[in-house]
Structure 1
Amino acid sequence: MNARGGALSWPAGHDSGIGLAGVGTALPGDPVDNAALSRWLGITPEWVEGFIGTRTRHFAVDLDGGSVRWTLEDLCTDAADRALADAGADPDDVAFIVVATATPDALMPTTAALVADRLGIDGVPVYQLQSGCTGAVQAMALASSLLAHGARGRPPVGLVVGGDVCSKHLDLRQNFRELPPSQLVNYVLFGDGAGAAVLSRAPGAARARLTRADHWLSGLGRAPGQRVEWFGQADRHSGRPAVVEDYKAIEALVPVMAQEVLDTLLDSLGWPAESLGHVLPPQLSGRMTERITRGLRQGLEWDEVSCVAETGNNGNALVFFQLERLLPRLEAGGRAVGIAIESSKWIKAGFAVEASG
């Protein structure tokens, strides 16, 4: 149901039929396990494992000194290079770039423009979307539309990139024992990373078909579930925490919203639930993903494709890590759906993938 009580319907014109030609991902440094994280935060590994359920994550920031070891630009460039290599494509083949992130390195220039420069791409449109966990799906939806309506003579390939470096927004110098759970959770929940996909309208170029990708706002009259501040020189010492979230609201609402996305996807595509081979559930944390997956399964035998327990919640990178795991498992005739929920102002997103041929 939507906010006015009516049935959800999928917006028209988003059956993309665009090929998913290649995927690449990038993580900064070695994984940080719960024992190491617990020593640093002064909390028990049992608390992290029981409350969050994430085993490892990666940080672009040095936890001891606080220096930035990898920028978002670094990670997005690495992921894009790997996606192009996976697709057998060159930078000259790219007609446009879409980057999704909630944590850009700077307000200007955009990370998208810097990544294009690092890749040696010029003379093409470059877009950057500011969003959280649904941003990657938003980017795929935009890219699918651009490819479907692309000008003749342009290369039939688009590069979609998503990534976040959440750790740069966290204060590493404070007394963590004094933090309330609503702030402490951010230090154990999130990780950093980037992912990318090459989308193509060229026949026969794809490993799978991106059948549908879309998103819609679902937060009318509802307080934001998460807020990430941007501190300028004038307000950086205001005493406000950089990141806060209403995790109780998230626990209550995200499973319901995920079910609505799944139902809407299947209805709009005309796919019986039994025809699904794989589901890519929202990747909030290990524990929340387990809970959401149990609710979505309803006795069906599809394969869950998850990554968050190993990568941490790295925002806009998550969908690409899931797709990287999905593609080798997708057999002829196979179908998969992915779901992403963003608690910032409550955005739902979903996409569907079918095996090529």
Structure 2
Amino acid sequence: MTAIHIVGTGGYQPGDPIPTSEIARLAGPLPQEVLEGLSIERRFWMIDPKTGEHRENNSDMAYKAAVRALEAAGAEPGDVDLMILATGTPDYPLPPLVNLVQDRLGLTRCSTLEIRSGGAGVVQALDIARMYLSAGTHRTALVIGSEAISPVLAPVFLGRDPQSIRMRDRMPLYMFGDGAGAMVLRASDAPGGLMPAASACVGGGRKPGIHSVGGGTHAPIHEQLKARRLVDLRVDVVGAGDFTPVMVTEAVDAALERAGVSVDTLDLCLVPEGNVGWMLDSLREAGLDTGAWKALDGKVVDSLATMGAVGCAAVPLFLDDAWRTGRVRPGDRILLVGVESTKWIYAGAVVDWTAPAPS
């Protein structure tokens, strides 16, 4: 039976790391208990924090991550005949970001798809790629998650007295960063690889936990231009704190059931924000530290503290970091979980890892 394997990954983050102390200088401090709950020590931005000018774009980051993944897989751009990209912050509304990356890779013909499911998007993309490759309609798939959030953050602090910035407007600056991650998938007769994934939106009737307002067609453009900021990133910190743990625990259970494996067989579980203070506290307070979650104690891996919250890029970027640093090794069974609090989407997939660490 044909199995679908992740044969290489690549990650990219722009510029030098920006420590939390620099965010405090730009936008004012947060209470110490809030900082500890966020658990983010640094992040990377594609803008120049001094001027807000772009040093590169989302498509640049996605391309660089893709090149690293292809190199790690021993593949050429011309091998790719299916490309799926997840992002919530494209260079333009149209054309799709995935096609800008296609051009950069020199591909004149390629099946492409773009997903707007936030942090859950890449895991959904993996499952779509798995099904296409299993059907034999494609040979090599490139799955990318890429996010450029800093351009939306710049107007919050540029030219402003940090002490005048409201606390709710400061929070996103401490949370979000930019970056991209990519994965190369191929079919093989070797055992292991990706198992069928589980995915659902459980936010029907719930308000968005994160809402990016502006630049769309929800209101007349001439009216939007009168707003203080053309694009306003609104984060419901309380709502996310309450409901994200619900999504995570459901994602873990649903993914294990879909794959037909038990939690005891997992070696690692990659959950962005899985180890942060607020998340663990919320799980306990809501009684969601279930048997499955307790069985994952010490097995949850993420790179949030050193890379920041990077939306669609989180799962592939953190996976690339874990693979290149030896945390993920051939023979490991890994659960990949992506969650998105804009409309409360989750996706989870189990993979039996086979790719040796890159030299």
Q: Which of 304, 308, 321 is 1:312 aligned to?
A: 308
1:58 aligns with 44
Report deviation, 1:22.
Answer: 0.5
Give the TM-score taking structure 1 as reference length. 0.86
Q: Which of 198, 211, 230 is 1:227 aligned to?
A: 211
Write the distance in 2 (CA, Å) between the matches of 1:293 and 1:252. 9
Report deviation, 1:51.
Answer: 4.0
2:329/2:354 contact within 8 Å kept:
no
- The alignment status of 1:149 with 2:145, answered yes or no, reads no
Change (3 A) 1:59 1:116: same
- The alignment status of 1:237 with 2:226, answered yes or no, reads yes
- The alignment status of 1:321 with 2:310, answered yes or no, reads no
Change (3 A) 1:79 1:288: farther
Q: Which amino acid aligns with 2:197?
A: A
3-state DSSP of counterpart to 2:313? helix
1:12 aligns with none
2:178 aligns with 192
More displaced stretch, 211-220 vs 193-202:
211-220
Write the distance in 1 (CA, Å) between the matches of 2:70 and 2:58. 18
1:279 aligns with 269
3-state DSSP of counterpart to 1:267? helix
1:277/1:302 contact within 8 Å kept:
no
Gaps of 5+ in 2: none
Report deviation, 1:176.
Answer: 4.3
2:2/2:187 contact within 8 Å kept:
no
Q: Which amino acid aligns with 2:294?
A: Q
Write the distance in 2 (CA, Å) between the matches of 1:175 and 1:284. 34
3-state DSSP of counterpart to 1:257? helix
Write the distance in 1 (CA, Å) between the matches of 2:142 and 2:240. 31
Report deviation, 1:259.
Answer: 0.9
Report deviation, 1:255.
Answer: 0.9
Q: Which amino acid aligns with 2:149?
A: C
Change (3 A) 1:200 1:192: same
Gaps of 5+ in 1: 1-14
1:158 aligns with 141
Report deviation, 1:52.
Answer: 1.8
More displaced stretch, 306-315 vs 283-292:
283-292
Q: Which amino acid aligns with 2:210?
A: Q
Q: Which of 342, 347, 350 is 2:348 aligned to?
A: 350
Change (3 A) 1:85 1:353: same
3-state DSSP of counterpart to 1:216? strand
CA-to-partner distance for each residue in 1:149-191, whole Å, 9 max, x for gaps? 243xx5x101111110001112132444344433321111000
1:228/1:244 contact within 8 Å kept:
yes
Quote the sequence identity (%).
Answer: 30
Name the count of aligned residue pairs.
Answer: 338
Write the distance in 1 (CA, Å) between the matches of 2:274 and 2:16. 21
Write the distance in 1 (CA, Å) between the matches of 2:214 and 2:122. 21
Q: Which amino acid aligns with 2:263?
A: A
2:274/2:300 contact within 8 Å kept:
no
1:209/1:355 contact within 8 Å kept:
yes
Q: Which amino acid aligns with 1:335?
A: R
Alignment RMSD (CA, Å): 2.6
2:85/2:115 contact within 8 Å kept:
yes
CA-to-partner distance for each residue in 1:87-129, whole Å, 9 max, x for gaps? 0000111011111100001112221111111111121112211
Q: Which amino acid aligns with 2:141?
A: G
Q: Which amino acid aligns with 1:230?
A: G
Give the TM-score taking structure 2 as reference length. 0.86
1:24/1:195 contact within 8 Å kept:
yes
2:338/2:347 contact within 8 Å kept:
yes
Report deviation, 1:293.
Answer: 8.1
2:241/2:279 contact within 8 Å kept:
no
2:78 aligns with 92
1:16/1:145 contact within 8 Å kept:
no
Q: Which amino acid aligns with 2:346?
A: K
Runs of 4+ aligned structure 1 residues displaced above 4 Å come to 289-294, 299-302
